[in-house]
Amino acid sequence: TPITPEILTQISRMIDMSDSFQVALWAAIVLGFFLLLRKSNLVPISVSQFDSSKQLTCSSVKILNTVAIITLSWTKTIQSNERRVKIPVLHIPGSSISPVRALKLVKKVNGIKPHSPLLRYKKNDTWLPLTYRQLNQGFKKLVSGLGLDPTRFSSHSLRRGGATYAYKVG
Protein backbone atom coordinates (compact mmCIF):
# COMPACT_ATOMS: atom_id res chain seq x y z
CA THR A 1 0.00 0.00 0.00
CA PRO A 2 1.39 3.44 -0.85
CA ILE A 3 2.18 5.62 2.15
CA THR A 4 0.57 9.08 2.24
CA PRO A 5 1.66 12.44 3.67
CA GLU A 6 -1.14 12.08 6.22
CA ILE A 7 0.24 8.76 7.45
CA LEU A 8 3.76 10.23 7.51
CA THR A 9 2.51 13.11 9.64
CA GLN A 10 0.95 10.67 12.10
CA ILE A 11 4.16 8.63 12.21
CA SER A 12 6.21 11.78 12.89
CA ARG A 13 4.33 12.20 16.19
CA MET A 14 5.50 8.75 17.30
CA ILE A 15 9.24 9.36 16.79
CA ASP A 16 11.53 10.16 19.73
CA MET A 17 13.65 12.83 18.08
CA SER A 18 16.44 12.38 20.65
CA ASP A 19 16.91 8.64 19.98
CA SER A 20 19.54 8.00 17.30
CA PHE A 21 17.85 4.82 16.04
CA GLN A 22 14.44 6.44 15.70
CA VAL A 23 15.94 9.51 14.03
CA ALA A 24 17.75 7.31 11.48
CA LEU A 25 14.57 5.33 10.88
CA TRP A 26 12.51 8.52 10.47
CA ALA A 27 15.02 10.04 8.04
CA ALA A 28 15.03 6.82 5.98
CA ILE A 29 11.23 6.91 5.82
CA VAL A 30 11.06 10.56 4.79
CA LEU A 31 13.88 10.27 2.25
CA GLY A 32 12.42 7.09 0.78
CA PHE A 33 9.12 8.91 0.28
CA PHE A 34 10.27 12.29 -1.05
CA LEU A 35 13.29 11.12 -3.07
CA LEU A 36 11.63 7.95 -4.38
CA LEU A 37 14.80 6.09 -3.44
CA ARG A 38 15.18 2.36 -3.68
CA LYS A 39 16.15 0.54 -0.52
CA SER A 40 19.63 -0.12 -1.93
CA ASN A 41 20.39 3.62 -1.89
CA LEU A 42 19.06 4.12 1.62
CA VAL A 43 20.36 1.22 3.66
CA PRO A 44 22.51 -1.91 3.35
CA ILE A 45 21.17 -5.45 3.69
CA SER A 46 23.42 -5.97 6.73
CA VAL A 47 25.84 -3.92 8.83
CA SER A 48 28.85 -5.56 7.15
CA GLN A 49 27.48 -4.79 3.67
CA PHE A 50 27.38 -1.01 4.07
CA ASP A 51 28.98 0.46 0.96
CA SER A 52 29.72 4.19 0.98
CA SER A 53 29.62 4.24 -2.81
CA LYS A 54 26.02 2.91 -2.83
CA GLN A 55 24.24 4.01 0.33
CA LEU A 56 23.85 7.56 1.58
CA THR A 57 26.75 8.96 3.59
CA CYS A 58 27.05 12.25 5.44
CA SER A 59 29.07 13.58 2.50
CA SER A 60 26.20 12.66 0.12
CA VAL A 61 24.17 15.48 1.65
CA LYS A 62 24.78 19.22 1.49
CA ILE A 63 22.33 21.40 3.37
CA LEU A 64 22.03 25.07 2.46
CA ASN A 65 19.38 26.59 4.78
CA THR A 66 16.10 25.53 3.15
CA VAL A 67 17.51 23.31 0.41
CA ALA A 68 19.42 20.05 0.57
CA ILE A 69 21.32 18.51 -2.32
CA ILE A 70 21.57 14.73 -2.28
CA THR A 71 24.29 13.25 -4.50
CA LEU A 72 24.04 9.66 -5.68
CA SER A 73 26.91 8.00 -7.53
CA TRP A 74 25.30 4.57 -7.73
CA THR A 75 21.74 3.58 -8.59
CA LYS A 76 20.03 0.72 -10.35
CA THR A 77 20.81 2.47 -13.65
CA ILE A 78 24.23 3.89 -12.70
CA GLN A 79 26.33 0.84 -11.90
CA SER A 80 29.88 1.97 -12.66
CA ASN A 81 30.07 5.40 -11.04
CA GLU A 82 30.00 6.93 -14.56
CA ARG A 83 28.04 9.98 -13.42
CA ARG A 84 26.47 11.54 -10.38
CA VAL A 85 22.83 12.38 -9.84
CA LYS A 86 22.16 15.48 -7.77
CA ILE A 87 18.68 15.69 -6.31
CA PRO A 88 17.52 18.99 -4.82
CA VAL A 89 15.18 18.71 -1.86
CA LEU A 90 13.21 21.66 -0.53
CA HIS A 91 12.21 22.39 3.04
CA ILE A 92 8.48 22.35 3.70
CA PRO A 93 7.91 25.22 6.15
CA GLY A 94 5.82 24.29 9.18
CA SER A 95 5.69 20.61 8.21
CA SER A 96 6.76 17.79 10.49
CA ILE A 97 7.55 15.69 7.40
CA SER A 98 9.96 18.14 5.76
CA PRO A 99 12.87 16.16 4.27
CA VAL A 100 15.32 19.00 4.97
CA ARG A 101 14.21 19.05 8.60
CA ALA A 102 14.76 15.27 8.82
CA LEU A 103 18.22 15.62 7.26
CA LYS A 104 19.23 18.38 9.67
CA LEU A 105 18.02 16.30 12.59
CA VAL A 106 19.83 13.13 11.52
CA LYS A 107 23.08 15.07 11.05
CA LYS A 108 22.65 16.76 14.44
CA VAL A 109 21.83 13.60 16.40
CA ASN A 110 24.13 11.22 14.55
CA GLY A 111 27.13 13.46 14.02
CA ILE A 112 28.94 14.34 10.86
CA LYS A 113 31.70 12.06 9.61
CA PRO A 114 32.01 12.42 5.82
CA HIS A 115 32.03 8.79 4.72
CA SER A 116 30.03 7.32 7.56
CA PRO A 117 26.48 6.13 6.93
CA LEU A 118 23.99 9.00 7.00
CA LEU A 119 21.37 6.66 8.43
CA ARG A 120 23.12 5.29 11.48
CA TYR A 121 22.47 4.86 15.18
CA LYS A 122 24.44 4.34 18.35
CA LYS A 123 24.36 1.00 20.17
CA ASN A 124 26.69 0.28 23.11
CA ASP A 125 29.02 3.16 22.14
CA THR A 126 29.27 1.89 18.56
CA TRP A 127 27.74 3.58 15.52
CA LEU A 128 25.99 1.12 13.21
CA PRO A 129 24.26 1.66 9.86
CA LEU A 130 20.51 1.20 9.79
CA THR A 131 19.85 -2.01 7.84
CA TYR A 132 17.08 -2.98 5.46
CA ARG A 133 15.55 -5.35 8.00
CA GLN A 134 15.51 -2.63 10.66
CA LEU A 135 13.95 -0.15 8.24
CA ASN A 136 11.25 -2.58 7.16
CA GLN A 137 10.46 -3.85 10.66
CA GLY A 138 10.57 -0.38 12.20
CA PHE A 139 8.31 1.01 9.50
CA LYS A 140 5.80 -1.84 9.97
CA LYS A 141 5.82 -1.29 13.74
CA LEU A 142 5.07 2.40 13.30
CA VAL A 143 2.27 1.69 10.81
CA SER A 144 0.85 -0.91 13.20
CA GLY A 145 0.97 1.68 15.99
CA LEU A 146 -1.43 3.77 13.93
CA GLY A 147 -3.89 0.89 13.79
CA LEU A 148 -3.09 0.04 10.17
CA ASP A 149 -2.43 -3.49 8.91
CA PRO A 150 1.38 -3.83 8.79
CA THR A 151 1.20 -6.71 6.29
CA ARG A 152 -0.03 -4.19 3.70
CA PHE A 153 3.09 -2.02 4.03
CA SER A 154 6.81 -2.41 3.34
CA SER A 155 9.69 -0.09 2.57
CA HIS A 156 8.50 -0.11 -1.05
CA SER A 157 5.36 1.69 0.19
CA LEU A 158 7.59 4.76 0.60
CA ARG A 159 8.74 4.90 -3.01
CA ARG A 160 5.29 3.99 -4.25
CA GLY A 161 3.62 6.54 -2.00
CA GLY A 162 6.06 9.27 -3.01
CA ALA A 163 5.42 8.60 -6.70
CA THR A 164 1.66 8.57 -6.15
CA TYR A 165 1.83 11.83 -4.22
CA ALA A 166 4.04 13.49 -6.86
CA TYR A 167 1.55 12.50 -9.55
CA LYS A 168 -1.40 13.84 -7.55
CA VAL A 169 0.22 17.24 -7.02
CA GLY A 170 1.33 17.48 -10.62
**pLDDT tens-digit series, residues 32-81:** 999 999 898 899 999 999 999 899 999 999 999 899 999 988 787 776 76
Q: What is the pLDDT of residues 116-162, one digit of tens each?
A: 999 999 999 999 999 999 999 999 999 999 999 999 999 999 999 99
Q: Residue 83's pLDDT is what?
A: 75
Best CA proximity match to 137, nearest among 126, 145, 127 = 145
Residue (of 27, 63, 21) closest to 158 by Cα position: 27
| Whether the model pTM is above 0.85 | yes
Q: 3-state SS string over 4-39?
A: CHHHHHHHHCCCCCCCHHHHHHHHHHHHHHHHCCCH
Q: Is 80 exceeded by the pLDDT of residue 82?
A: no
